[in-house]
Structure formats: C-alpha cells, structure tokens
Amino acid sequence: MESLRWTRAGTWQSVREICLALQRTCGREGVPGRPDCLHPGQAKNDMAMDQLRLYNTLSRRVEPVEKDGDRCGVYCCGPTVYAPAHIGNFRTFVAVDLLVRTLALASYDPFFVRNLTDIDDKTIAGSQAAGQGLEDFTGHWTEVFHRDCAALNLLPPAVEPRATDHINEQLAIIGRLVERGIAYERDGSVYFRIAAWKDYGRLSRLADRELLARENGRFAKDGAEDFVLWKAARESDGSVRYASPWGPGRPGWHIECSAMAWKHLGPNFSIHCGGVDLLFPHHENEIAQTEAAMDRPIARHWFHVAHLQIGGEKMSKSLGNLYTVADIVTAGHSSRTLRLALSSCHYGRELCFRPESLQSAGQALAQLDAVGKVLQKSSGGGRPMAQQFSRWQSVWEAVLEDLNLPLAIGRLFRGLRHWNPEKNANDDDWAEWQRLLFLLGLSLPPREEAVPDGIRSLAEERMAARRARDFIRADALRRKLADEGWAVRDTEDDYTLSRQQPRTG
C-alpha cells in the first residue's frame, strides 16, 4: 500500500480513482418511487442546521425527520436467528447504523430498537434438525449475529426484543382486531381480513389490489389475500406452541414486529427501518394490523434500504454466491473494509458488490487511517470528540441530506487534497476527526488497554457460558460488559476486549 503524500497530485489522482471506483458500485434499481439519488455537487445547502432530511417511502418524498416528544424513536426489523446473517442483510444494518449515528450527532436523541425474530418456520425447523430446543438454537445464532455486529462496529440498540418474549402483547393486538371484526378465526388460526381495511396498500402503492394469493391447504381463509396473525399448532411444530383464546399455536411473522414496536416505542414513533424486500408484504401488513387495532399510525417515516447483488445477480444459496462477514474476513479483508464497501453506494440504490469493491474500500480506508494516525500523534490523543463540525461541515451537510454518504466521502477526499495535516493540524482537528470517524463508523483500531479484574472476570464467565452452550447467559453477560463500556469480540477459541466506541445522544 502506497504511503499518503498530502500535496502530490499523483497521490490525489489515486484517491480520485478510489472515489470513482466506490461510486461504480451503484446499480440502477432501488427503493420504489424514489428519484435518482443526488449526484455529487447537487446536495441542498438551504436546510436548517443539523436537520436531517430523509426519503420517506410512505410519501415518496424526501422530508425532514421529526422527533416524537423528547426523543427520536427508531425501529429496525432485525434478523431471523436460524443461520448467519449474510452481507446483504448487513448492508441494511450498516445503513441503519449510519442513520442512528447521524441522529445522535444531530441531537435527535435516538432511542433505537432492533428486534430478533426467534420463532418462525425456519427457526423451528432448524432447531429440530440440530436436535436443540428453540431457545438454545436461536441463542447460538443470536450470539453469531452479535459477533458480526461488533466486527462491523454497529452501535448496539437500546432494546433488542425477542418475539418469544412478547406473546401476550401479540395476543392482545390480535384480540382487539377480532373484536372489531377486522380479523377472524378459522380452524384455530386467525387471519386479517384485508377487505375490511380500506387503506391497505398505502405503503407499497399496490395497483388494483395486486395482492399475492398463494394456495395453501393448511389454511381455510375467507379471502386468498388475507394474511395470518395466529397459526394453529401443527404436529411439525413439536413443542413450540402457546395458549390462546383460539387454541394452541404461535404468532405469525407480521404481528411480532407490531407488538414489539408498540411496546417499546409507543404509537406514531419517528422512523421504521428495514430492507426493501420487507416493504411488501411485511411492512404493509404491519401498518394495517397496527392502525386497525390502535387507531393511530405506527410510524411517520418509513426507511428502506435497497438490495445488494453479487456480480449482477441476487445472492442465493443455489447460486453459491451468499457471503457472510466471516467469509469476507477469512478471505483476507478486514471487517472495517467491508463496512466501508457496504456504504459505498447510496442506501436507496442497489449495491453491486464485487471483489473490486473491497479493494477500493481498502485503499480508501488506508488513506483515512493514515490521516487519523497523524492527527492522533500530533495531538497526543488526549482530546475528546468535538461537539460540532468545522473543517468537515460540507461532509456533514451531505449526510444530513438523505444520508448521501457517497457524496460525503467524495467531499472528504477532495478536502484532503488541499490539506496537509502533517504541517497544518492542531488539537481541534483531531477532536473533529474523531467526530467524523464516529459518523462513518470507522473508528481507528483501539489501542491496547489494561482490562480491570472485574471486567476480565465477567468476560471469563461469559466464555465459560459459551463453551457450555448457554447462549442466553452469554448474551446477558455481553450486554453487561457493554453497559460497563467494554466490547467483547469472539475468536475461534478465545475472545478480545476493547473499550466501546463512545455513545452520544
């Protein structure tokens, strides 16, 4: 890797090529209804200071984000914990992490909730195939998910609810829908009657009720388009079943998020997030069942992240092109490089992921790390993170305009072209650089630090729980370590501890 030479045109040319290579990862497809993303040089600068404007799939417009009361509630549909999440999933989670970091730095006081789907057909089938109870099986894959999140430096949610811990809340919503005649029971299952909800399709803009009608012999629905809220127990579910007024069974997928979002964020919170593949039917059904039961909107802003493709094809097991975070790291790339590669295209545009994506991101990251090390050394590393942007205000403004990170990175490298931090840097520059790194989720690799005995004891206790396959206990101890300001990252046979990235807001 060539060293960074601040004032030589040849080095800047290589940085310019890096930026262009990152921009080439954007495909033509994206979130439905949205116009082409802002091109470099077209960001709006007439916004109120530190006001975030974000594309709203519900209105099909870029709109200012508003708090709900004294905070900004953010809900993200998390993973189904039956296997490792792939990098397509993490493209969404990285984009949501950028959103939460931006809200924090812009003083929106985000309260971030990301759920875990631990009960559905896949988790039940997977636990049975593994010969494990559902809780142990999903606990293991939750631990793997958390390890990948830590590797990508994703901020932990304030609350991470599990669907199985919210059965009563789900039953309460279903009961209210049945009482109102919007849901009905058939053979122990309960369905939402779409014909009874005139606003159905508002999010996805379905033309002439282009609903997916699927033949399924298990269900005796009144309408082919009606969706299930509660599934009657069946033999293949084994012991996974819960009591209900309609007989033993388990919740449908869509009702789970409605219950968890309602409990932890209340009605009409600020932003609901997820991949574009969840827009229909999952998010459409969430809106219908929540508003029909509660008479209030579930969320004001709907934030969707476009797909990731591999070499122009959709990721799938059958094509052999499904990659996890561990796969990328095993291939010799750092998780920080992967994070930057996943951020290289605007969240609203399809990301065309190729091997060159990682090479370009790695080169860009090396340039940024070189700057950071110079600034850290010149300041002694003692200054806390700055409270506002100054030198990099234009970068911040690009992010405030619909999270236009590609434009922000382009402005960052153009700024570096005209600045020599080895000669013209001060302590304020290091403080502001830390703020920039926090925004990008690309903090410098942590310095080694002595670990207090109490923290080491918690980590050892957690490792013992992992080896005993008590993943629920291990997960609880990870959260306790995080509360103490320590991140634990698992290796194949051991673990490492490091100070957590400071949380703001």
- Asked if residue 181 has pLDDT above 80, the reply is yes
Domain end among 228, 257, 286:
257
Q: Over the chain, what is the mean pLDDT?
A: 86
- Asked if residue 14 has pLDDT above 70, the reply is no
State CA 116 to chain mean position distance.
12
> What is the 3-class SS of 455-479, one letter each residue?
HHHHHHHHHHHHHCCCHHHHHHHHH
Q: Pick from 239, 146, 147, 228: which is nearest to 194 by CA?
A: 228
pLDDT tens profile 268-294: 999 999 999 999 999 999 999 999 999
The CA-based angle 196-244-120, given to 5 degrees, is 80
pLDDT tens profile 138-177: 999 999 999 999 999 999 999 999 999 999 999 999 999 9
Structural contact between residues 347 and 274, judged by C-beta atoms closer than 8 angstroms: no
- Pair of tokens at residue 121: 């057909």
Under the banding of pLDDT at 50, 70 and 90, the label for residue 39 is very low
Q: Please give the pLDDT value at position 224.
A: 77
- Asked if residue 391 has pLDDT above 60, the reply is yes
Domain-embedded: residue 491: yes
180 vs 443: CA distance, rounded Å: 51
Structural contact between residues 346 and 404, judged by C-beta atoms closer than 8 angstroms: yes
Domain-embedded: residue 192: yes
pLDDT tens profile 319-356: 778 999 999 999 999 999 999 999 999 999 999 998 88
Burial of 313 (0-12, 13-18, 19+ CB in 10 A): exposed
Q: Please give the pLDDT value at position 354.
A: 86
Domain-embedded: residue 475: yes
Q: Mean pLDDT, to the nearest integer, of 83-99? A: 97
DSSP-derived pairing of the beta strands 183-186 and 189-192: antiparallel
Q: Please give the pLDDT value at position 314.
A: 78
Under the banding of pLDDT at 50, 70 and 90, the label for residue 22 is low
Domain-embedded: residue 151: no
pLDDT tens profile 250-264: 999 999 999 999 999
Task: Find the domain containing 485 and state its range.
Answer: 453-499
Domain-embedded: residue 177: yes
Q: Please give the pLDDT value at position 377.
A: 85
What percent of the chain lies above the pLDDT cut of 90? 68
Domain-embedded: residue 174: yes
Task: Count how many domains the chain has.
Answer: 2
pLDDT tens profile 436-445: 999 999 976 5
Structural contact between residues 280 and 206, judged by C-beta atoms closer than 8 angstroms: yes
Under the banding of pLDDT at 50, 70 and 90, the label for residue 1 is very low
- Pair of tokens at residue 430: 């290091």
412 vs 444: CA distance, rounded Å: 17
Q: Please give the pLDDT value at position 492.
A: 56
Domain-embedded: residue 466: yes
Domain end among 222, 257, 292:
257
Domain-embedded: residue 248: yes
The residue among 136 and 446 whose pLDDT is bigger is 136
Under the banding of pLDDT at 50, 70 and 90, the label for residue 28 is low
Domain end among 257, 287, 309:
257
Under the banding of pLDDT at 50, 70 and 90, the label for residue 132 is very high
Using DSSP's 3-state secondary structure scheme, residue 90 falls into: helix
DSSP characters for 149-216? HHHTTPPPPSB--BGGGGHHHHHHHHHHHHHTTSEEEETTEEEE-GGG-TTTTTTTT-TT--------
